[in-house]
Amino acid sequence: MSAVPQSRQLERLEPLSAEELLKWALAEFGNSLAIATAFQAEGMVIVDLAARNSPHVRVLTLDTGRLPEETFRMIETVRERYGVVVETVAPDTAEVEAMVALHGPNLFYREVTLRNLCCQIRKVRPLERRLRGLRAWVTGLRRDQNESRADVRKVEDVEGKLKLNPLADWTSGQVSDYIRQHDVPVHPLYAEGYRSIGCAPCTRAVQAGEDARAGRWWWEQDAAKECGIHFSPEGKAERKLDVLLSEILEAKRA
């Protein structure tokens, strides 16, 4: 198979529909491509689209150790519906133990940087390790999900690895329509008022009129509602995060 396409080739991929882009990626990368999902609506649409084009779809999910039970039920639902064995990606046990020993199990409630640290240990670093064995990966990012995702492209070359966002130009209405038309399995927490689903302690249902991401880290004020996988904090917060992370890694080695 060819190397990751260069910028001019990436531009030619941008106008493709979600199904066309997934079909191209599955043919181009085969087993070196994986869908990363927490089984939210967008991720399930992508799984459904991909499964319609290939019986050999790789699906990854991050088992952070703090997931709601309903998310584990979705793993079984995907297996039963699509015949896909979901690959769970877990954090490094020693890193989690060091973080909890230094900052406690619920450090994320105290300040944004500590929340980012928890996301780094439980989500970002485990995913980075798994992605090293892949040439491309697929996410459910959409431009209208929040301001930090407004400029998301369908195809991105991130340090020589292709990141595909097939639903980048979809609206929430299009996602809902697809789910209804194709009877796509839905995460049980949506029925309880959740609109964005992550770890159990960091996610709640939203109230009428609230933004879809309002239920994520709802105790934070004026903070970017991202875990670090799709967004990197800048400036002072990032420098402090680097210091905290280095402490964890040093404690792990001790």
- For residue 18, the domain's CATH number is 3.40.50.620
Question: What is the model's pLDDT at position 7?
Answer: 73
Domain that holds residue 170: 7-253
Interior CA angle at 137 toward 197 and 5, to 5°?
Answer: 145
Enumerate residue ranges in the chain where pLDDT < 50.
Answer: 1, 232-237
Q: How many domains does the chain have?
A: 1
Q: Which of 229, 228, 215 has its CA nearest to residue 116?
A: 228
Q: Can you list the alpha helix ranges (DSSP code H) found in 135-222?
A: 172-182
Helix 172-182, helix 41-53: angle, nearest 10: 50
Helix 112-119, helix 235-253: angle, nearest 10: 50
| 2 lies in some domain | no
Q: Give the catalytic positions in this structure.
A: 227
Question: What is the model's pLDDT at position 11?
Answer: 87
| 59 lies in some domain | yes
Question: What is the model's pLDDT at position 107?
Answer: 97
- Residue pair 39/187 in contact (Cβ under 8 Å)? The answer is yes
| 199 lies in some domain | yes
Q: How far is CA 213 from CA 4, 207, 218, in A?
A: 32, 11, 9
Question: What is the model's pLDDT at position 81?
Answer: 97
| 117 lies in some domain | yes
| 155 lies in some domain | yes
Instruction: Report CA torsion sign: 104, 108, 111, 112.
Output: positive
| 1 lies in some domain | no
pTM of the model: 0.86
| 118 lies in some domain | yes
